[in-house]
Amino acid sequence: MSDLFSKIEEVTALHGIAGHEFQVRDYLRQAITPNVERVETDGLGGLFGIKDSPISKAPRIMVAAHMDEVGFMVSDIKLDGTLRAVAIGGWNPLVMSSQRFTLLTHSGEQVPIISGSTPPHLLRDNERQASLPKAADIIFDGGFTDKAEAESFGIIPGDIIVPDSKAILTANGKNVISKAWDNRYGILMVTELLENLRQEELTNTLIAGANVQEEVGLRGAHVSTAQFDPELFFAVDCSPAGDIYGDQGKIGEGILLRFYDPGHIMLRNMRDFLLTTAEEAGIKYQYYTAKGGTDAGAAHLQNKGIPSTTIGVCARYIHSHQALYNMDDFYQAQAFLQAIVKKLDRSTVDLIKQY
């Protein structure tokens, strides 16, 4: 078993949806504190380690993952003891039913539950037709006798529900199947970056950590960029692989040069810098046109404009219990991110910002 897979097991086992990222934040704080001068948080709970540069007027560079994964939040406890919930983050209706979940009560207890589905036997009536469920209609069931019994286990509206899924290796040993690679990939990227740069004297002040509430509208990035005021912003995030659908994003083919998404267009000078850096470092890369956004979409509009981009990899079947992704892609992304950070001195940052 590889050291990387062991770390993936640990980080993907953490639970944390938007607004309830405490497990991930505690993990991140413990992992990065020995490798930075100080750790700071913003008002929503984003957490960043600061590695100061001794160089005068060193540029401020922000590298940001996001802590939250997709999940649900209890909205109602029915008289029969079943639960209803609201989706936190984007879910494909086809993957919500008949799955195992963990409910975390407000006191921290973990309760096993499942999402219900209608058996085919009950669809034989001509008046019943199978249809795609809406999140609000999904029945979450912990096997409770009634509402009073559910409440006796400490369950109240506002408690969080996260996928129950264990990381495993594929048969060829190249890929991993787990929940939450979006965006525990980013969390692991940040911790590995700071550990590898611990003894490095950088030509920039590095601000590396993770935002909160990305999956519900890139909210944390607004706050953290306002607080830390970086000159450049690098989101570290995972995107959907389209390879099996004949689209862009192929696992095992390296990092994504994400030059466009609906909320962000990569600036020319940033693109040229990334391409040059990738070529010089021998990084495998692929061009990627994204259909969703990352924290770069929020960050680039802050503080009079912050040149931003995303250092990403792709995974199949994200926003579900079972994403499938390639471990070598992580190694490529980590080498790329380290090469980027090491090159960002004052003259290089000024060139990227030049118009």
| Nearest in space to 336 (alpha carbons), one of 266, 254, 253 | 254
245 CB-near residues (< 8 Å, 6+ apart): none
**Which one is catalytic: 214, 215, 231, 253?**
214
Pairing mode, if any, of strands 285-289 and 255-261?
A: parallel
- In a 10 Å sphere around its CB, with 0-12 CB exposed, 13-18 middle and 19+ buried, how is residue 331 labelled? middle
Separation between Cα atoms, residue 32 and residue 93, nearest integer Å:
37
Separation between Cα atoms, residue 344 and residue 52, nearest integer Å:
13
Separation between Cα atoms, residue 239 and residue 258, nearest integer Å:
10
Active site residue 37: no
In 3-state terms, what secondary structure has residue 29?
helix
305 CA to centre of own chain? 23
173: left (phi over 0), alpha (psi -120 to 50) or beta: left
Active-site residues, by number, are 214
